[in-house]
Structure 1
């Protein structure tokens, strides 16, 4: 008849675990229960526990046999309900489990038949299969939960990116709107200045004509009113500004830059060249004028680009 260890190996248990189980228990069924209980425990931990048990106890890892002349009787462990064949086996059980409550039983324990062993082994296999099925189902549920968490995290990240993109787009639209308003105001100021210059030239011509004719000169032309809007127009002179805001249309897109009013066009071109642009000239639409390299010595104030101006970079 094969030993308990051989039967455990035939069932497919790991040889080292099966050896530990057979040494730690007194029967095939106990060994199977031990393996089932400790299947998740690392092998190194089981070996260390077995070694510590061997060092701390002088009892054998196998339950002692009945003493000569001992009458076969049945004892029952009141703590776990296990039935034992004699006093020696009860003491061995107590050393392994720390159970101390036993009572006598008139039931005589008979060894398991081969059929009973096969039946118990089959029951154990079914329990192990059921346990593995439960574990597999739990792992499946865990994977589903983890996937939901990952999808939620991905969705929240995408929503955050989309919200950031919308905010950046809104800021860009607002910046373009401000640029258009500033360009419109600058255009109005330029047109008003041109009109004032035109009226002044006309007044001077009439004054010279009146002087030649011996007549009184015409009254000076009043300063044109600034553009009206929902609020009062500013009368701040250009000389009061310390900075000039330039809207620069480059081959790669529009760029807004602010410079001190004493900055020369050469310095503006140099600043753009630091960004990788080659500047040959600047073109201003209002009034229409092109500043080439011979004009780069002019300051922004001298070129009439204060407080703001729109330039095309060539």
Structure 2
């Protein structure tokens, strides 16, 4: 069985085997196997380019050195030093059958294998030798084949471990990125929840203030109606007005929105006014908070920005309790002057 058949039976690519045999000058199974292991991951070069780059060989053979052998010997002396040149000159009349590395003692069949050994080991001292390289026996071929398979298996195992380690590192990075993203998302959700809770708390406070103001308004209106009824009864019966009626008329008037100087004074305590605007045609109410110095026209402009069917120039506002209708002349007045602070409900039509 030829060296090529042995390598094919081992599962190597035929083209890669041809490359190895060309590179080692068909010098045997061991050099070809070493070459395949060394260049297992390298691309196969163009055969024509490899032929141009291949170094000249010094052949042993059975015949004495001719002119070509002399040229190869001179080239060997130029590359590997004067030691090899002296050995060649001394043994010019002796049949050279191999090339020996003076540093490690290994013997090579030709200069191509010697060059290959020099590249791998860094040795640079060679000499010609009369020692003949015997071909491998079948037992040696099997042993070399087993060694080659062992080396290939070891190389694949190392590569597999490196790939597994790299995959594990990538997985760790991916998990860390996922954890960081999850933590950022949870933090954002927590901040949003706190923001929503604070907004609800403020809204509850504003609603409580509005309910308190409406309740105070209702009590003031009740007192005013009771005093008015008492005055009317006293007038019908020809009696004098009760002192409490005269003295309490001013606070009652002050309790009404727009009910005089007292209302204006009380309204000065509120810098903002919370408004709830409802459409007479129905639908959802619109809530906003404006400065107490804002005019009623600004309220109309806010509503026009929310509802396309509302026109600032034609819209009108009214209060159901206490019942009051605002005219366009009131559009230039502030919410404080109109007695709408700190909160009010307006009906837009």
1:177-233 per-residue CA deviation (whole Å, 9 max, x = no partner) reads 110001111112222233334444455555666675355862254457xxxxxxxxx
C-alpha displacement of 1:31: 1.4
Rg comparison, structure with higher value: 2
1:262-299 per-residue CA deviation (whole Å, 9 max, x = no partner) reads 3678974982689xxxxxxxxx9x9699xxxxx9x998
- What SS does the corresponding residue of 1:76 show, helix, strand or coil? strand
Question: Residues of 1 paired with 2:18 and 2:101: CA distance?
Answer: 26
Question: Residues of 2 paired with 1:15 and 1:310: CA distance?
Answer: 93
Normalised to the residue count of structure 1, the TM-score between the two structures is 0.66
Question: Residues of 2 paired with 1:38 and 1:79: CA distance?
Answer: 25
Q: Which residue does 2:143 correspond to in 1?
A: 119
Is the Cα contact below 8 Å between 1:179 and 1:247 reproduced in 2? no
Matches within 5 A, 1:3-152: 4-25=3-24, 26-41=27-42, 43=43, 46-48=44-46, 51-57=48-54, 59=56, 64-66=59-61, 68-69=63-64, 71-72=95-96, 75-78=99-102, 82-85=106-109, 89-90=110-111, 93-94=114-115, 97=118, 100-103=124-127, 109-152=133-176
Question: Residues of 2 paired with 1:254 and 1:64: CA distance?
Answer: 106
C-alpha displacement of 1:22: 0.8
- What SS does the corresponding residue of 1:12 show, helix, strand or coil? coil
Normalised to the residue count of structure 2, the TM-score between the two structures is 0.61
**Structure 1 range deviating more: 145-154 or 171-180:** 145-154
C-alpha displacement of 1:128: 0.6
What are structure 2's unaligned runs of at least 5 residues?
65-93, 256-264, 279-283, 310-318
Compared CA separation, residues 199 and 135, structure 1 to 2 (3 A): same
C-alpha displacement of 1:10: 2.1
Question: Residues of 2 paired with 1:288 and 1:179: CA distance?
Answer: 24
Q: Which residue does 1:219 correspond to in 2?
A: 247
1:94-127 per-residue CA deviation (whole Å, 9 max, x = no partner) reads 3885553215678653221111011011111011
Is the Cα contact below 8 Å between 2:277 and 2:345 reproduced in 1? yes
Is the Cα contact below 8 Å between 2:100 and 2:108 reproduced in 1? yes
Question: Residues of 1 paired with 2:344 and 2:104: CA distance?
Answer: 96
C-alpha displacement of 1:149: 2.0
Question: Residues of 2 paired with 1:196 and 1:180: CA distance?
Answer: 24
C-alpha displacement of 1:257: 4.4
Q: Which residue does 1:230 correspond to in 2?
A: none
C-alpha displacement of 1:33: 1.3
Matches within 5 A, 1:138-217: 138-204=162-228, 213-214=239-240
Greater percentage in helix = 2
- What SS does the corresponding residue of 1:23 show, helix, strand or coil? helix
Is the Cα contact below 8 Å between 2:277 and 2:287 reproduced in 1? yes
Residue 271 of structure 1 pairs with residue 299 of structure 2: no
